[in-house]
Structure 1
Amino acid sequence: MYGLQNNDWLIGIFRERSRWVPCFLKTSFWAGTSITQWSEGINACFDEYVHSKTSLKQFVEQYERALRSKVEKEFQEDFKSLSQMVPCITRFDMKRQFQIAYTIVKFKEFQQELTEKMYCDIESIEDGSFGTKYVVTEDFTVRERIKEKKFEIVFERDKCTFSCSCHLFEFRGIICRHPITVLIHNKLSVVPDNIYFDVGGRM
């Protein structure tokens, strides 16, 4: 419509879209998976069942087989999560709370966040009209050098609401290390049952 098919700037930002698009999606729940990964996952799921010469009738039959196989694998994972327990690697009480609530895979992700909490420190605390704002610094190793990054967490203790500037909870459904740091600072050894994040997504 606007004759911009050969615009160098648009072509350039489209080529580099993997570097800037995620920042517009991090407040939406994608279970930590990008659109590209989702597409690749779907393709991998059907690769062993269909190919370029599969007829329409064969495709329908193979599609049903693929779905049955996927459901069976999910049942097996559910059974494994109910019958097995991943060892806890910290002494925080909240780990047992999530050990029961999460699947094995998700609990391992949460344990990773709990472990990474050791690299976080609270730099400042400021009371405001919308709750208490904490600035949490986290140390990263980049090319063998320690770099510091800051995150803002707003915690309304009375309402039990959290918001974190990294948006990991909104994107992956996992409580990140920054609110965990604030919870431990407030002597909350377990996550309250009624806690929720500012996006309205109940835990």
Structure 2
Amino acid sequence: MAKAIPIVMPNTNHRLCTWHLMQNAVKHVSSLFRDVGVKGVFSKFIHQIDDEEEFKIQRDQMLDRYDARNNHWLEQTFGVKEKWEWPYIINSWAAGMSTTQLSESFNAFLKDYLNCDHNLIEFFMHFERVLYDKRYKELESEYNLSQKLPRVSIPTLMLTQMADIYTKTIFEEFQNEYVQSIEASIVGTINDGESTIFTIQMDID
């Protein structure tokens, strides 16, 4: 596939899935990075370095620190750095995808609508059904979300913030506790010199 893509589609770029890259790193070189862990080393090269020269410096420092210049997997992986490292792919359009999980998920979804016996016209007819169902579910989700937003009974800063964080059910429980707490009154105080004990009365109908 990697060799066929530049031949069939010369203006495109073949990229590696960063998720699979990390899984392979865990499999092949975990023993090298026991002090910080594989993810602690590779996440920097995948996500944080955006300059080619800085990438080379950090790579050489890492290889020297862990005495890993002769590691076959690292040699192969850094040999195709143009397919996964950010400084080299920053100008390659990929629809915001860095892993194959999204495409794999969509492929699995397509299987319910398409099969290899469809001709081109049938393919596009079924593909339109896929798009319609996807768009309908998105609209349905947006509608349900707008109808199920938590209702803030007292517009305090705390409740407003929690309404954005909690689900509707959890927020209603939190709001009930909050309202009861502000309706409580102090009916007794005991001060023993080191601490103060308050007796609270809840006015519950």
Q: When you count helix as a share of all residues, which structure comes out higher?
A: 2
| Structure of greater Rg | 2
TM-score by length of 1: 0.32
Greater relative contact order structure (CA < 8 Å, 6+ sep) = 1
